[in-house]
Structure 1
C-alpha cells in the first residue's frame, strides 16, 4: 500500500484518529425518527406566501389547438395564471442543451408537459383551479417505446462507440458464439419528499430559493436564466432532501424557476410542491434500454469478442442523457476483459418525459448486460457461471485495459469474489441446490455470485471540483459549509467528522449548516458517488489552513518550534504547555489571526478525450460482490429471496455505520429495479403506473431475512479522503446477483435451453420465462 501523501507542516501533529473510521450516527437521525427534521414544505412560510400548481398536457404529442384559461383565472383564491408569455427572459430550464421549456408553447411532446401554472392563496385552490383549464391537442402518433423510436430512426443525439480490435472479424470466424437481446426497464425515483421549492423575493431584485435539489448551483443558474437576472441575485439554500437518487440533480431546477417566476410577478413568496401523481408523470426516470449483443468465446468460457448495441429511451429532450448513455458504455464490461470489442450506443427520442439521472447514472444497465453475457456463456457450455466469471475478469499485462483505454490498476475483483465465495459457502450451497432442483419439479432454486466494478468520478471532467467554507469562532466552535447536499446518505456527518478530526476537537463542536450558494459558489451536483470524496477533501483543506495559522501563532506565543505543536483531545500542546482548543482560538483572535478559510479540491489524475474515446475518466474503481439465493415457483412466477451475502469495498470506511446503511439500501433499491418496479406506458404515451397503487417498490418485507453484509478490508490505493472509497452508487449493482439467481433457477427447468428473461423480473416475466423453458423441452 502506498504511504499517505506527505502533507503540510501541521498535518500529522495530532493524536491518533478519533472521529474518522468510526461508526457515528447520522447528524439528523433523531430528528428523522421524530419527524422534526424540516424539509422544504416544513420551512416556515413567510407572511403572504402563495402556492403554485402546474397544469400539464393531457396528450403526449401534438399541436396545442386550444388553451382556454379564463375559468382558471377566475377560480376562488387564484392570484395569477402563468404561461410562457410571462417569462421575462428565456423559456428554458434545461441543464445542457437548451431544449426544456418551462412552459410548452404551440406543441407538446409528452403527457404531463407543463403548459401553464396557477398561483393561488392555497395549494388546494391552485390545484382545483388547474382542473378548470380547457386544453385541446391535435394529437399525433406518439413514439413511446425504444422500438418505436428505432423504427422511426428518431435519434435525439449522435450515436457513439468504443472499439478495440476487430470484433466483427472474430465473431464471423467464431466456432462458439451466442447472440441475444436484453430489455432493461426504467425506474421511478420515488423519493419520499417530492419536488418542492420556495422562492422569496428580496430587496434589489434578488431572490432566495429553498429547493429540494442535488445541484444548488444549477438551480441558481436556471432561475437567473429564466428571470433574466445575474446569478449573484439568486441565493439557493438546501438543508436536506427527503431522498434524491439522481431525480433532483437536473430536474429540480424547473420547479424552482416556476416558483421564482411566480414570486417575481406577484411580489410575494411562492411555493411549489408537486402532488405525487404529478411528480410521477412530470419528472424523468431511469433510462430503459434494449441491448442487442453478439459474443464469441472459447470452450472454457473465455470471451474472445463482444459486440453490443445499446439503445435507450431518452424521452423528449436531452437532459443528461449524453453522459448517462456514455456511462452505460463505460460499464458494459463490468469487471470483465473483452479482447476484441465494439460497444455502440444510440440515444432515442420518444414522446415521454425526459429521462434523467438515477443512482448509478447508466452504469447499472451496462453491468446488467455484462452479467447476462456471463450467464449465457455458462449455460451454453454447461459450466458453473461463477467459474465463467472468474475466467473473464480483468487480469494483468494486456488483460487490464478497458475498451476506452484506461488501465485497471486497482484490480481486486477476483480477491473480493474469492473471499465471498468462501464466506458464503458458495460451492457447498451450489451442490445442495442442484440436489433440491433434482427432487422438485415446481419449485426451483437459483444461486449467483456476481461482481461490481464501478468507476468513481464525473465523466464530465470539469465537475470534479468542490469547495468548502470553515469558520472558527472565538469560543472554539466551528461553522462548516460545503457544496455537497444531504439527501439522507450521511454526507454531512462524514464531512463534519473530517473537520473535527483535523482540528482534534469533539464532533459536537462542529456545526453543520445548510448548503448555500452564497457561501460556496459554483458547486458541482452531489452525484457520481463523489460527494464525500470531493467535499470532504475541500473541507479538510480549509480546516488545515486554519490549523496551520493557529499552530504558527501559538508556536510564536510559546516560543517553541511549530513542529512541536500537537492538536488533539480538544487541546493544543507542546511539551508541558497545554491549552484548550478554545483558549488557543481566543488568544489567536486577540492577536488578529484570520480564523476562516475557503477550501478547494479538484480530483487529480483524470482525463477524458470523448472524440477519441480514450483516457482515464475515473480516479479509481469501487468493487464489491454479492451472492444471492432464490426460490422460484415456476407455476406462479413468484420468487423468494432466501439469502444474500455481500462483501463490499469501501476502502477504509470513514463511517462504517453510514456505509453499511448505504450498502443495504442501495442493494434493496437495485433489487426493486430488477424484480418489481415496472413503468407502464400505454400506446398513446400515457404513464399508467403513476402512484403507489400501481407502482411497487420494495418494502421491509422484501428484504431477505438472512442478509449478511461485510466490508472488504482494503484501503484505497489512491489518496482519497482518509483512504476511503465512494459508497453511494456502487451497491445498487450488487442486486445483479438476484437477477442472475432468478435466471439460474429458471434455467434448472431445462438446462439445455438459454433463459429469455428481461428486467424487471416481475412474476409475469418469470412465469413467461418458465413456460418458455418447459415448452422448449417439450412440455
Structure 2
C-alpha cells in the first residue's frame, strides 16, 4: 500500500482503488433482471393475504372551497370497502415536506385542478377506480392564478423573495460600453418515470406498519406516515428495493400515496396498495418548475461582460414543497461558468393554482444556467463574434476572476482544458466554417452549431442533508451484505456501492450484496438527490468497511507479530509481509476469536456553509464540469429540425464505473434535450393539465437520438476528498443539452447573417421554431 501511495502520489483510499481497478467495469447489478423482467418493483411483490386496492377522487376545479361531499354512490359501488376524507385522518393532515401547505386530502380549500379530495378502498383496482368517479362534490369556484404574470400582479408567493449581489451593478450598467436586455420563458417538464407512483401498506402487530414504496426518500415517507397515523416513527418501517425511475419526482411526492395507503390499511387492518394510473399520475404530481426570467447586462466592445442583473421567477404551483431550495439553486447557477464582475440576482417564488411543482433532475440549476448561455449568445450577436469565442473569454479564470456571485472561490476549474480538448476532438472550428458556407448556399435548410459548458455545484444546499449512514455485515462464509440510505432508481448506485465494498475488502463484487433501503437498518437518511448518492453513501459504506478492516487487520497482525497498518486486503487475501491468509480463513478465524464483523458507518460532507441572509458562503463541496457540441439542421419552411451530431466531454473525476457514468451522461443529455425541445406542458384556461398522456406530451424517442453521438470522460481526480476522488454524474449532464437550444438559435440567427439573437422560448418545438423564422424574416426585411 505504502509503495502504491509513493509511486502514484495519491492518498490511501485512491491507492486501495488502484489495487482492484478492474472492478470499475462491473455491469449494473440488476441489468439481467431488468431486461428479463425479473427485477422486482412494488407492483411485483407477491400480494399479502386480504390485499385491497385504493384509488383517489380528484377536484374538477383549480381554485375554490368545498361546499359539500356526497359519497353515497361511492359507498354503494360494487366492491367498495371504505372511503376516507380529510376529516378521517387521525393525525396531521398537512404533509408538507419542509413548509406547510400540502394536505394529504383536500381540507375545505381547493388549490389546483386534480387535487385529491377523497380515497376509496375496494377489492380490485378496477372497482376502486370506478367508485372514485361517482362522488358528488359541490365546489364553490374562485378565480385561479394560473401564470407567473398573474401571480406577480396579485403578489402571490409561496415563500419570500431572495437576492444575492456583488459589486455595484447600478454603476456597472450605467458605465458599460454596451448594454442589452432580454427575457426567456422556460417550460417545465413531466418526470414520466417508467414505474408510476405506487405504495403498499401492510399493517403488522399493534400499530406497526410496513410500507413498500417507490420513493427517493424513505425516511421522509416514514416520518409523514407516522404523523398522519399519529404514531411514533419507530412504529413505521419503509422498504425500498428499487424504483423504475424517479428523476426527482419521487423525492417528496411519493409520500402522499404511502400516507393514503397507510390510512386505509390502519382503518381496515388489511394490506392496501395504491397505484396511480398514468394519466392521473401526470395530473396530480408536480413537474419541473416553469420559469420566466429576465436579464439586463453590460459588456465591452470585445464582448467581455461587465455586469449582469438577472431576475428569476419560478412557477411553484400552490405550495412551497421544495421550491425555496429550487429557486435558490437556479440563482446559484445563473452564472454557469462565467465570471460576473458586478451582478445582482433576484429570485422569486410565485404561487399559482397549479399542482405543486417539485424536484427534477438539476433541481433548478438548468433554469438558472440557461440564462448564462442566453447572455453569452446575446453578447456574441451584438459584437459580431462567434459565440464560443465570447464564452471562452468570459470563463472563470485568473484573468477574469475566480469568485462566484455568492462569494465562493472556484478552486478546481478544469473548463479551459476541457473545452480546448473538446474543440479539437469535435473539429469545432472546421465545422463552423463548413456550416457558415452551407447556410450561405442553402436558402431552406439552415444548420447551427454550439458549444456550451457546464459548471454544476455538488451538495445539498440545505446543509443538514449532507450526511449519510451505512450498515455492513461480513458473514462467516466471507460473503458481505451492505445497506445504506441511498435509493436505487436505475442510476447504478447499488452497483457503485457494491464496487466500493468489494474494493475495500479486496474481494469479488459477486461476494457483496446490497439490500433494500430500509428505515430500520439505516435511520434518518437524506433523499437520493442532488447528485450526491454515491458521494454520501459511498463514503459512509467505506467508513463502515474501514472499521471492520481495522479489526481484522489488528487480529491478523497480533497472530503474526506484525503492524496492522501494513495489512493489505487484495485478491481475496490479507497480506502482511510474507504472511498470507485467505479472506475466508481470515473471517473464520476472526469469528472464532470473537471479533465483531459488523459495523455502522457515517459520513458528513466537510467544508460547506452558506449564509442565506447575506447570500454568501460555500454551498457546494466541489463543481462538476462538462461541455457539449451540438449540430442541428432546421427546415425553415416547416420549423422541423434534427439534431445531427453531439460531442460530449464530461468531468467525472476518477470514474468508479465508466460504463455506468457514460450511460448517465447519454441519458441525462437526451432528457435535457427533451425538456428544451419537445416536452411541452399545457394547461387550459381553467387550469386543467391537457398534456396528460403520451398522445399529447412528447418525450424523446430512440429516433431523436443524434446519428453521431460521441461521449468521452474527462478523467482527472477530484481535488476534494470524495470517494476515490470521483465526481457526481447524475444531474450535470442534463444541462449539456443547452447546447442543442443554442445550436437552434445559431441556425436561426443565420437568417439575419448572425446579427440578431433569435427570441426562442423553451421548449423550442417546431411550431415555435417556425414562428421564430417568420419573426426573423420580417425583421430582416424591415432593415
Q: What secondary structure does 2:368 align onto?
A: helix
2:706 pairs with 1:715: no
2:764 pairs with 1:761: yes
Q: What secondary structure does 1:756 align onto?
A: coil
Give the distance between the partners of 2:49 and 2:62, measured in 1 at CA.
Answer: 39
Tell me which residue corresponds to 2:510.
508
Contact 2:146-2:687 within 8 A present in 1 as well: yes
- Displacement of 1:695: 0.4
Q: 1:236 aligns with which of 235, 238, 241?
A: 238
2:210 pairs with 1:194: no
Contact 1:46-1:269 within 8 A present in 2 as well: yes
Give the distance between the partners of 1:84 and 1:222, measured in 2 at CA.
Answer: 15
Give the distance between the partners of 1:260 and 1:524, measured in 2 at CA.
Answer: 22
TM-score (norm 1): 0.98
Q: 1:134 aligns with which of 127, 133, 136?
A: 136
Tell me which residue corresponds to 1:108.
110
Q: 1:349 aligns with which of 351, 367, 370?
A: 351
Q: What secondary structure does 2:689 align onto?
A: coil
Give the distance between the partners of 2:45 and 2:373, measured in 1 at CA.
Answer: 45
Q: 1:358 aligns with which of 354, 357, 360?
A: 360
Q: 1:480 aligns with which of 478, 482, 486?
A: 482
Give the distance between the partners of 2:160 and 2:532, measured in 1 at CA.
Answer: 28
Q: 2:668 aligns with which of 653, 666, 669?
A: 666
Contact 2:237-2:518 within 8 A present in 1 as well: yes
Tell me which residue corresponds to 2:295.
293
Give the distance between the partners of 1:585 and 1:216, measured in 2 at CA.
Answer: 33
Structure 2, unpaired ranges of 5+: none
Tell me which residue corresponds to 2:780.
777
Contact 1:15-1:568 within 8 A present in 2 as well: no
Contact 2:42-2:213 within 8 A present in 1 as well: yes
Deviations 1:342-389 (A, max 9, x none): 100111000000000000000000111110110011011111000000
Tell me which residue corresponds to 1:699.
701
- Displacement of 1:752: 2.8
Deviations 1:59-81 (A, max 9, x none): 10011123111110111111000
2:597 pairs with 1:595: yes
Tell me which residue corresponds to 2:627.
625
Q: What secondary structure does 1:97 align onto?
A: coil
- Displacement of 1:575: 3.6
- Displacement of 1:276: 0.4
The structure-2 alpha-carbon separation of the partners of 1:344 and 1:14, relative to structure 1 and needing over 3 Å to count, comes to: closer
| Deviates most, 204-213 or 620-629 | 204-213
Deviations 1:165-222 (A, max 9, x none): 1212221333311111100000000000011101111112111101100001000110
2:268 pairs with 1:266: yes
Give the distance between the partners of 2:17 and 2:41, measured in 1 at CA.
Answer: 38
Deviations 1:289-308 (A, max 9, x none): 01111111000111001001
Give the distance between the partners of 1:100 and 1:76, measured in 2 at CA.
Answer: 31
Aligned pairs (5 A) from 1:33-52: 33-52=35-54
| Deviates most, 531-540 or 137-146 | 137-146
Q: 1:283 aligns with which of 273, 282, 285?
A: 285
- Displacement of 1:564: 3.8
The structure-2 alpha-carbon separation of the partners of 1:563 and 1:754, relative to structure 1 and needing over 3 Å to count, comes to: closer
Q: 1:749 aligns with which of 747, 751, 765?
A: 751
Q: 1:434 aligns with which of 421, 433, 436?
A: 436
Q: 1:419 aligns with which of 413, 421, 435?
A: 421
Q: What secondary structure does 1:732 align onto?
A: helix
TM-score (norm 2): 0.97
Deviations 1:212-263 (A, max 9, x none): 0000100011001111111111000100000000000011111111111111
Contact 2:453-2:625 within 8 A present in 1 as well: yes
Contact 2:403-2:410 within 8 A present in 1 as well: yes
Q: What secondary structure does 1:254 align onto?
A: helix
Deviations 1:68-106 (A, max 9, x none): 111101111110001111100110111011210001111
Tell me which residue corresponds to 2:80.
78
The structure-2 alpha-carbon separation of the partners of 1:564 and 1:713, relative to structure 1 and needing over 3 Å to count, comes to: closer
Q: What secondary structure does 2:591 align onto?
A: helix
Q: 2:741 aligns with which of 739, 742, 751?
A: 739
- Displacement of 1:592: 0.6
The structure-2 alpha-carbon separation of the partners of 1:517 and 1:4, relative to structure 1 and needing over 3 Å to count, comes to: farther
Tell me which residue corresponds to 2:63.
61
Contact 1:155-1:349 within 8 A present in 2 as well: yes
Give the distance between the partners of 1:21 and 1:391, measured in 2 at CA.
Answer: 41
Number of aligned residue pairs: give it.
776
Give the distance between the partners of 1:359 and 1:746, measured in 2 at CA.
Answer: 28
Contact 1:13-1:566 within 8 A present in 2 as well: no
Tell me which residue corresponds to 2:127.
125
Aligned pairs (5 A) from 1:595-614: 595-614=597-616
Give the distance between the partners of 2:455 and 2:563, measured in 1 at CA.
Answer: 47
